[in-house]
Structure 1
């Protein structure tokens, strides 16, 4: 028999939010609500309907376990097993970087002009490449990642969003196993400098893969590799879209200019911070 105290859903949420607030969680009420919905196996929009009802003991026990994990800063997305990105839900795990709203800026830039063949370097969950293919039914794509676990996660998301017939996923260290040319190349590489890692939230620092966060140096190593290899794989007049950290625009733009790319622009996200560097191959 469960020893969990019987509470109404509203009481359980209030208690959970207080625990999460004390643990330093940013939005404790929202997280308490999302996790109750997950424990009760209902949509979050229905939580208000069950608020006056006593929680079933099995639901209460699942909820207690979820709140205990959230209180030690396990990300909500890892507890739910998914996160929304560009209007779609993507399966996530500790093996891949969580899709983030600011990365939707990269999607908007990439979708601004048509493309038929796209390469995603550092595929992760597949949220970028899968989204681009889902939004562009005539396109095909290749996604590569050094992590085998990330490739498997991306494959699952490709299947989930029904683009598996138009996507090829391979394990590769940047361009090492890439062949062919593309009219669009995208990447959200690891760009956090090693000395910035300590400033990240526990959710990110302790629960997301270091490989997807930092190069272990100045945060620019991936851009050096991308700038060195992009010329061999970007078609004439092809486009390159790279996500960057908010202070990295000038350095990355200079690398791409030195690599012979043109029409280089640094574009902001919705918060006004530099977020994407854009370039073309050719005049």
Structure 2
């Protein structure tokens, strides 16, 4: 297997055909690898069209929906799904042409973990959700952490809070690395002003103290699909946002992590 991402082929997996925060982030992650990657989706929708416009190879891997609710046991839903076995076989088939399976959502990770048990390819789980009872059933939290501990080669958490929740739920600390979501700061520059983050929460645009980077990362993740809010946040952060959350910094850190991963599987 190659030990450089310059020649490494990556199979990205995502469960949704719709455009959400996780999908927008995956678009950014996959862009530098578009000449040697494939984004496999479990559902067709506008996200496929967005990837095609970005000239990122994409393919719908199944025509049947995997219905899984966060508050119900994932394993029960998967076992009840007639399309699961077919989807896993499809992922195994495609993974033969790629060096890494990079899963972007919980459902994609579970399918990728089952497939990796057969293919033995390095498996990356980009963890974007805090694994707690507030967001998932406890059975689902245990399933995700157990599969990660057993099959994942690398877990990428989008914040320190996400990383800590993974560890608190029983995830292995040595597996997980934090990579903040990146964005093009220049695109979001705007005149200083106050913005609303919800019904009553207001942020006054001003330079942030050095103790705020983690909070800023969480706010940016929350507002990713609201460009007007993100523009003002980026202005408030000034050079701090450029340093911590720039697109190039995210790309560089993920590329470094993947190179390290591959070096362990030569």
**TM-score for the superposition, normalised by structure 1:** 0.34
Of structures 1 and 2, the one scoring higher in RCO (CA 8 A, sep 6+) is 2
**TM-score for the superposition, normalised by structure 2:** 0.36
State the structure with more CA Rg.
1
Which structure has greater strand proportion? 1
